[in-house]
Structure formats: structure tokens, C-alpha cells
Copies of this chain bind each other. A is one copy, B any other.
Amino acid sequence: MYRTNNCGELNENNVWDTVMLSWWVSNRRDHGGIIFIDLRDRYGITQVVFDPEENKDVWDLADKVRSEYVIKIQGKVRMRPDSQFNEKLNTGKIEILVDDIETISKSKTPPFEISDYTKAWEQVRYKHRYLDLRRDTVKNNVKFRHKFLQFSRNWFADRDFLEVTTPIFTVSSPEWSRDYIVPSRIHKGEFYALPQAPQQYKQLLMVGGIDKYFQIAPCFRDEDTRADRHACEFYQLDCEMSFVETKDVMEVVENYMFDIVDKLWQGKHIKDWEIKKMTYKESIDKYGTDKPDLRFGLEFVDVTEVFSDSEFSIFKSVYDNGGAIKTIKTEWIDMSRKDIDELTKVAQEAWAKGLAYIIYEKEGPKSPILKFFSDEEIEQLNQLHSPNPWDIIFFSADEYQTAVEVLGQVRLALRDKYDLADSDELAMSWIVDFPMYEKDPDTGKIDFEHNPFSMPKEGLESFDKENPLDILGKQYDLAINGEELLSWSIRNHDPEILYKAFDIVWMSKQQVRDKFGAMLRAFEYGAPPHGGFAIGIDRFMMLLCDEPNVREIYAFPKSGNAQDVMMWAPSKIDDEQLEELNIELKDTDEDIEV
């Protein structure tokens, strides 16, 4: 037997109990000949005491233990002196006077300090992740992930969704990113692909009658590494439903979000329980992005028309070229010249030429460009902004897309610089009416804007429109605090409409059948209308945990360059293994030697 209790549960009710505890020596202090050890495990910390006057032999043994040794102690629980109470710990009022001690495992000196204040580099921590996991922040993320997984699965299971495990060995799903592939030994020259998402399988489940499906599914995309993306594998809470319309799916998402925030997101609150719906166009127009942060104001004002006949040649030429002039008005923020220079830099990094502004001082507006404005223009600006003293208006004038994007960046920079968003607040919005297609600005090629399997908003009639860029899709995003949390759509389950949709991006029926054969065949045998969503749970957990680094959401993360530095993956493999798989490396040192 190793323990009667864990290190997080003993308290004043246990005084006089004889207990046995096992775990790590977290901290050791000597006070007037008495040894105090903090014993640490997953559940907490308990102080154990070795008094040479009570038991010299045991004290001698305790004198030999070092940090991170695993020890087993037996002793009696007693109250600490009042002056030594630690109110931060459950166990902070008691300690254990030890009768017996045994060292179970020794430890070398750890390569970094096992505490939340460690300054160790990520690579060092990841190489010894088993030590890193002993730190509170890492351990708490592991615990949170556990709670998140259980809560989410039970939530969907309680609502009659069936969890279905879809295959990990499948075919290429070329619609998103690069596939990871696995050579087949049995079928030489052929490869499995790991799923980028279970998109086709979940739609096939709908055709199979599993009318409510969910899964926390591993997904695999061979993308270049990025700070908010985990390399190799990531997880998505995947869901699909039959016989649903837009509002049905939104309701499921909203209820899940509300419940999970309520149950798991302690100390945070929802800004608005009536989730705002905004068209894609409106969101771009007002916030310069399709994932607006609605925790604060600073909506754009369109002032393009003000300058239809302006003497100010820069604005006038933007007007003449069909561009846009947008403003943001800050209130009561005192900015120095240096502050404004910083914002200008943000604008320039987003490809603006500059960042014009008017400061409303007590004496009236002041600005280097004011001299170019007519009185009427100034009057119109006043009407649009109702400025008070200390307000500032920033201008973004450019080709439409650039103008709004620049101002969107300025808006976020203002948020961060002046703490405009409450970090304990959660502001959600539905972005609706996404265009089905987008045009590549360089090549002019038309491609799907979102998911190619979305139903166009007006079904078959959508294709009567002259300009395919005007076709809207039944696809929706949930934005939360400036992040896209999930994307979903009502699917296109009608082969006729599907072929039409792909025709716009110049894919023939045959090509569509080659790429998505199983799904198209399936749709010929009585397909129910269906729709669904996927939530990138790692990013969601980042938000829920206030964790800035997505890698820390994993117990065993890959490092920034897609390596497991603890296990040392990826790595070279034996020639025989390659031989058996019928593949060989193209350019290797061996080749060069030959």
C-alpha cells in the first residue's frame, strides 16, 4: 500500500488521523532543526514535518531526500500553529508529523524549475514534458481538456446525437490543404490519406440515417506551422444533423456555447445572450473582417460620399476610382504624437499609404489635412460623427478591400493598446450570407469562398444570377471575440445543384464524380437535407483557458517546427522498412555516396 489519501484533501477534520501519503518532494525547508517538506501530487500540496526530537531515525532519512524524489510517509495529522495557516491551500491549516518515511524513487536535479515561474525554453520543457506536466499551469490545462471533452460529449449524447468513429485511414480530401499520406504495404504503390476532416463520412452518415451525429475527431493537415495551429494533428468537435434548417443548427450551437461557458468558463460572462446576426457584407463594412470583436465599439463610419467633389486630391481620387473612405472615432482617449505614429505604422503594415486623422480639441478640430477640406465637408463630417472635445477621427481611404482591412487592423490595435475589450467577456455573432465564391485578385480565377458542399441560398435558382460572385451560400460562421470559432453550412444534398455549383469553378461532372464519387453516388439513393458544423476545439480551449499558445493545450505537444522533441519524431527509418513499403528517398546522403 502506498497511500491512504492524496495530497489535496486532508484538512482540519482529519486531525489525529494516521495517514499515508506518497509523491514528490516539491519543496524542503529547515527551521530550527525541523524539516518541512511540501509533498505534491495531481491534487494538491500537503506539508509534512520531521522533528528530530520526536523521531531521530526518520529525521535522518528525511535529511537525505532531495527535490522530486518520490517518497512515502506515514504520520499523524495535526493543526499548524495559527500563524502558519496558508489560506490558499485546502490543506493549509494542517500538517503531518511523520513517523515513517521511505524513498521510493530518487531524482536527478531537474533541468528546470518545476514551478509556474520557470523561465525554461519551450524546447527544454517539451523535451522533458513529463517534468513540465508537474507544473500547475500545464497540469491545469490537462485537467481542463478532460473536463471539456467529458462535458461536450455528454452534452451531445444527452440530446440524442450518436457518437460515430469515422476512419483515420482514408483517401485524399483535396478541398482544403495538403494531406498526410501513409504508404500501403499490401497495395504497393498506393497510399492512404489521413482525414483533414470527416466531412464526407459525416454526410454519408446522414444518407445512412444516423440523423444526429457527433464526434471529437482527430484531423490532419500538412500545413506550414503557425502559432495558433498545432502541427500534424488537431481535434474538432464535429457534428451533423438531418432535416434541419438554418435556425435549428444555430440553436444547437448557441445552447451548447451557453452551457459550456456557464459550466466550464468560470469568471467569464456572455455579453449578449441574443446572439447578433450580421451579414458578411455588413461585418466587412463595419469592422473590416468577417470575425468581428464585438466586445467594444469603434464601428466604421462610411464617409466616401462626403468627398464626392473634394479639393483634397487623395480622397477625391479614391472616390473617383470607386474606392471607399471609412472612419473610426475614438472618444476620450488622449493620444500623443507617438501614439498616433504607432497606429500609422499598423495601418502601413496593412498596406495603407498613411493614416489621416482629425483631433477635436477644445478649440476645435486640428489636423494636417484640415486645410484641404471645404467647410461643407467639415460640416458633413461633424454630422456623421457628432464629435466632442478629445475625440479623434481616423481615416482609411483606398480601394474598398484595403480601406476596410486597414481600418480593421487599426481598430484591433486600439483595442489592444487601450484595453477596450473586457477579457472576461464573451461577445458572439453569427456571420451570415457568405458569398459562395470568391475571385482570386491576381489570377481572376473563381473559387469556392468556403465549403464547396454548402447549399446556395436560393438552391438551383441561385445560378440564374449573372455574376457568380453575387451567389450567397447557406454558410455561417460564429465569431467570438475576434476569432472564428466555427464554420458551418446547410449542405448541398442535390446532385443537380452540386454539379451546377462545381461548374462555376470549371469542374466538369466527371471531375466532380472522380473527386467525390462516394458522396455523389450516395445522394442518388434518397438523401435527407442536412447540415452541420465543426468547432476547432484546441483554439476554443485556448480561449477558455486564456492560454496564448495552442501547443500548451496538448499534453504532449509538437514543437514549432512539427517535431516531438521528447520522442524525437519524425526520424529516419530503416531501409528494409522502406523496401517493404516499395518506396525510396529521392535525395539523401546515401544517394550521393553512391
A107 in contact with B525 (CB, 8 Å): yes
| Per-position 1/0 for A550-580, Cβ under 8 A of B | 0000111010011110111111110001011
Give the CA-CA distance A524 to B365 in the complex, in Å.
70
Contact A570 B190 (CB under 8 A): yes
Q: Are A131 and B189 in contact (CB under 8 A)?
A: no
Interface presence of A106 (CB below 8 A): yes
Q: Establish whether residues B569 and A192, one from each chain, have CB atoms under 8 Å apart when the complex forms.
A: yes
Q: Which residues of B contact A31 (CB under 8 A)?
A: none
| Nearest CB of chain B from residue A420's CB, rounded to whole Å | 36
B110 touches A525 (CB 8 A): yes
Name A526's contact: one of B1, B2, B69, B517 (CB within 8 Å). B69
Contact between B526 and A106, CB atoms less than 8 A apart? yes
Q: Is the CB of B104 within 8 A of A528?
A: yes
Whether the pair A584, B586 counts as a contact (CB closer than 8 A) is: yes
A507 within 8 A of B: no
Is A27 positioned at the interface, with any CB of B under 8 Å from its CB?
no
Which of A49-57, A198-206, A285-293, A344-352 has 4 or more CB atoms under 8 Å from chain B? Answer: A198-206
A527 nearest CB across to chain B (Å):
5
Interface set, chain A 344-389, CB cutoff 8 A to B: none
Q: Give bound CA distance, A290 to B61, whole Å.
A: 45
List the B side residues contacting A193 at CB < 8 Å: 569, 573
- CB-CB nearest in chain B for A24: B526
Q: Which of chain B's residues has its CB closest to A233's CB? A: B168
Name the CB-closest residue of B to A573: B191
Of the residues B110, B129, B171, B218, contact of A218 by C-beta under 8 Å: B218
A150 in the interface, Cβ–Cβ < 8 Å? yes
Shortest distance from the beta carbon of A208 to any chain B beta carbon, whole Å: 3
A562 touching B204 in the complex, CB below 8 Å, given contacts A69-B526, A572-B191, A584-B583: no
* CB of A42 closer than 8 Å to a CB of B: yes
Report how far A207 CA is from B68 CA in the complex, Å: 11
> Which residues of chain A (1-24) have a CB below 8 Å from chain B?
1-3, 6, 22-24
Q: Can you list 13 A-B contacts with CB-CB less than 8 angstroms, sorted by A residue number?
A: A22-B243, A42-B211, A105-B528, A128-B522, A131-B207, A146-B162, A167-B232, A171-B569, A186-B225, A190-B570, A190-B572, A192-B570, A582-B586
The interface of chain A, by Cβ under 8 A from chain B, is 1-3, 6, 22-24, 40-42, 68-70, 104-108, 110, 128-134, 139, 142-143, 145-146, 149-150, 153-154, 157, 162-172, 178-194, 200-201, 204-205, 207-211, 218, 220, 222, 224-225, 232-233, 235, 243-245, 493-494, 517-518, 521-529, 554-556, 558, 561-564, 566-573, 577, 579-588
CB of A104, distance to nearest CB on chain B (Å): 7
Q: How far is the CA of A337 from the CA of B207 in the complex (A)?
A: 55
A527 near B584: Cβ-Cβ < 8 Å? no
Instruction: For the complex formed, measure the closest distance between the CB of A63 and the CB atoms of chain B, giving whole angstroms.
Output: 18
Q: How far is the CA of A584 from the CA of B150 in the complex (A)?
A: 43
In the assembled complex, which residues on chain B have CB atoms less than 8 Å from the CB atom of A210?
42, 133, 139, 142, 555
B569 touches A170 (CB 8 A): yes
Closest B residue to A495 using CB positions = B105
Given known contacts A188-B587, A573-B181, A586-B583, A554 and B104 CB-to-CB distance under 8 angstroms:
no
Q: What distance in Å separates the Cβ of A576 from its nearest Cβ neighbour in chain B? A: 11
Residues of B within 8 A of A163 (CB): 145-146, 149-150
Q: With a CB–CB cut-off of 8 A, which chain B residues contact A1? A: 245
Determine the chain B residues whose CB is within 8 A of the CB of A189 once the complex forms.
Answer: 572, 585, 587-588
A573 engages B172 (CB within 8 Å): yes
Other-chain residue from B150, B183, B243 in contact with A181 (beta carbon distance below 8 A) = B183
Structural contact, A187 and B570, CB atoms closer than 8 A? yes
Enumerate chain B residues within 8 angstroms of A106, measured Cβ to Cβ.
Answer: 526
User: Could you tell me the distance between the alpha carbons of A3 and B187 in the complex, rounded to whole angstroms?
Assistant: 46
Q: Decide: A157 and B166 in contact? CB cutoff 8 A.
A: no
Q: Which residues of B contact A171 (CB under 8 A)?
A: 564, 567-571
User: How many angstroms from the CA of A577 to the CA of B193 in the assembled complex?
Assistant: 12
Q: Provide the bound-state CA to CA distance between A69 and B526, in Å.
A: 5
Chain B residues within 8 Å of A579, by CB = 586
Is there an interface contact between B208 and A528, defined as CB atoms closer than 8 Å?
A: no
